[in-house]
Amino acid sequence: MRQIILTGLVVAPFAAIIVWHWSILGAFGIIALSHGLVLYPTLRPNVQWLGPVMTRFETTEREVWLTVDDGPTDDTAALLDLFDARGVKATFFVKGVLAEKHPESIREIVRRGHTIGNHSYSHPSATFWCLPAWNIAAQIERCNLVLANILGAPPKLFRAPVGTKNPSVHPVLKRNGLTLVGWSARAFDTKTSDPDRVVGRIMPDIAPGTIILLHQGRRESVAMLARVIDEVQARGYRFVIPPTDRLRTNK
């Protein structure tokens, strides 16, 4: 699909020129369609058209994967204590600029048995989808370098800011041995401070192999994570970190 979309972008202007002689609206339609086929998978998280996005993991057990975005922040220590108390393992997708300032938090996350993923260097959430190729590469590779300097090796997982990506993202990921991770349960917890609403959004999507997306660094982040963990565990699920060979693209 990716190759069809990119080929369409190249061919569309020439096709539009030819069609222009018969139909101006038809010419504009061709251009609009070619751009729409790029914008849709760019702006819609988890859409696979430009390359694979892992949205589940393979398991026959009642297991889910908790992923926490946007750290490390002031509540990292409290989250680690919460996870220890509940027997939870998670993956933290961190911003390179924050990891650079708080390397001890990154080391502590790993020391406590959790894993680290790349969430870009500065998390340009409003513009990541339209950044040029060189800037996409800088965001991903600079974060990788920061984490490699702290931990001795770069991460293997990447999550795009707010899930957006453009045609430049997957080539950079391939070059750096990174896997793009999406989610299958999302609470929009950056838009609310109500733990009940967060639980209400997450729980309908809980199933074996679900990837849960939550965030840290907000006023109620710890409370919201605690509520989700308690509700999920009450249903008999365990929080695990799956190996990369069990990650799947089907939502």
Which residues are marked as active site? 69, 215
Torsion, Cα 136 141 143 148, to 10 degrees, reads 170
Q: CA nearest 144: which of 108, 106, 182, 112?
A: 106
Distance CA 186, CA 158 (A): 17
Tokens standing for residue 91: 């993956």
State the amino acid at position 107 in one-letter form. Answer: R
Tokens standing for residue 144: 């990788």
Q: CA nearest 128: which of 93, 175, 154, 163?
A: 163
**Alpha-carbon distances of 58 from 55, 162, 240, 249, rounded to whole Å:** 10, 24, 12, 10
